[in-house]
Structure 1
Amino acid sequence: MIDEKKMRDLLEAERADARALIASLTQGINEVSAARDGDNSDDEHDPEGATLAFERSQAATLLEQTKTRLDEIAEALARLDSGSFGTCIDCGGPIAEARLEIRPYAAKCVDCASRG
């Protein structure tokens, strides 16, 4: 039997972490962009330009992944509220409690998740 209070606490902690990471990444992206404003240098020929462009791209990708995780957390909380938490959305089987402790927003059992 899944401990709903424990899972809700884990999800709330994950949500707080995701929100903090989103704020940090957004600030970092804004700072990198501001540093490049007014700079006429061309990334291809500027020894620092390629690094800044790469860092900005990497941060933007991580930001999108974190936003997706935040959506998955919201969906998991909705499943918790509806009573379907811990049930695989693909096969309808149970999601192992150990998996939910590590990734409380998991919507699929290990078998279904490994199939894509």
Structure 2
Amino acid sequence: MPTRTKLTPADLRHFEKLLRHQRRDLDITLGRIGTTLDGVIKARNTGTADDEHDPEGPTLTMEWSRISGVHSDLAAQSAAIDQALARIADGSYGFCTRRGEPIGRERLEARPSAELCIDCARELEAHRRA
């Protein structure tokens, strides 16, 4: 694994700032969703809502499942940001973790937490779909 990136120190500061901003926004959203999830869980556990017979809206179980899925996705994004910040700290940010080749700046701008170059990302996506 390379210890230095082809990104300049200014580039690294830019991406670190971008990642920290994304992480702060995710933390706020995760907090809000966590509160909503807690409310749904509380309503499910108290049994006071007869949501199973409401033809107009989702059941509490469906709502819990939806919110739980969103929460999990956001938590995974947060972990990816933490990993990217760790790569900045150890000097490996900007290199594909699979092949060790530089990740294009355009890809990093679009997805600052990217750990794979576009070719590797496409290959893995093709394997998932197969």
**TM class, shorter-length:** 0.7 to 0.9
Structure 2, unaligned stretches of length 5 or more? 1-5, 125-130
Q: C-alpha separation between the residues in 2 aligned to 1:40 and 1:6?
A: 49
Q: C-alpha separation between the residues in 2 aligned to 1:80 and 1:46?
A: 50
Q: C-alpha separation between the residues in 2 aligned to 1:15 and 1:23?
A: 12
Seq. identity, %: 36
Counting only pairs closer than 5 Å after superposition, residues 62-101 of structure 1 correspond to structure 2 as 62-101=70-109
Name the count of aligned residue pairs: 115
* C-alpha RMSD over aligned residues: 1.9
Q: C-alpha separation between the residues in 1 aligned to 2:67 and 2:118?
A: 29
Give the corresponding residue for 1:39. Answer: 48
1:93 CA drift (Å): 1.1
Residue 42 to residue 32, structure 1, CA distance change in 2 (3 Å): closer
Structure 1, unaligned stretches of length 5 or more? none
TM-score of the aligned structures, taking structure 1 as reference length: 0.87
Q: Deviations over 1:60-112 (max 9, x none)?
A: 01111111111111110111011110000011111111111121111001111
TM-score of the aligned structures, taking structure 2 as reference length: 0.78
Question: Structure 2: which amino acid aligns with 1:25?
Answer: I
